[in-house]
Amino acid sequence: GAGVSQSPSNKVTEKGKDVELRCDPISGHTALYWYRQSLGQGLEFLIYFQGNSAPDKSGLPSDRFSAERTGGSVSTLTIQRTQQEDSAVYLCASSFGTSGLHDEQFFGPGTRLTVL
């Protein structure tokens, strides 16, 4: 079956522009995560969606970052007024999200964002 897909794979934008990054999770996965990966910095948690519950936004670095998940499936991460420090690889992951079970996450290939 299909894995997690992300689009675009690469995005180059100018400072101050808005960008939208898309994630299609594995069908049936109720949990969805966004992470930011900067060189040598590991994975930085951004936001977590679980079913119909309110998302955990505790990792979003500023109010320029937002995300939504429509219909419990596709998610979009939006960065407004991009800054050079936003340049990174943005990874999306999904999991079954079974209550009480710490499931493995399935990751997409990422979107490499470059802000000029």
Binding site for other proteins (CB under 8 A): 4, 31, 33, 35, 40-43, 45, 48, 50, 56, 59, 91, 93, 95, 97, 102-110
Q: What does the CA dihedral 50, 2, 87, 47 come to, rounded to 10 degrees?
A: 0
CB of 15 to other proteins, least distance (A): 25
Q: Which is nearer to other proteins, 27 or 99 (CB)?
A: 99
Q: Which is nearer to other proteins, 4 or 21 (CB)?
A: 4
Q: Which residues contact 8 (CB under 8 A, 6 or more apart)?
A: 21, 111
d(CA 51, CA 31): 6
Q: Which residues contact 2 (CB under 8 A, 6 or more apart)?
A: 24, 26, 27
d(CA 65, CA 3): 25
CB of 108 to other proteins, least distance (A): 5
Q: Which is nearer to other proteins, 41 or 70 (CB)?
A: 41
* Closest listed residue to residue 21, CA positions, set 71, 77, 68: 77
CB of 35 to other proteins, least distance (A): 8
Q: Which is nearer to other proteins, 63 or 104 (CB)?
A: 104
CB of 98 to other proteins, least distance (A): 10
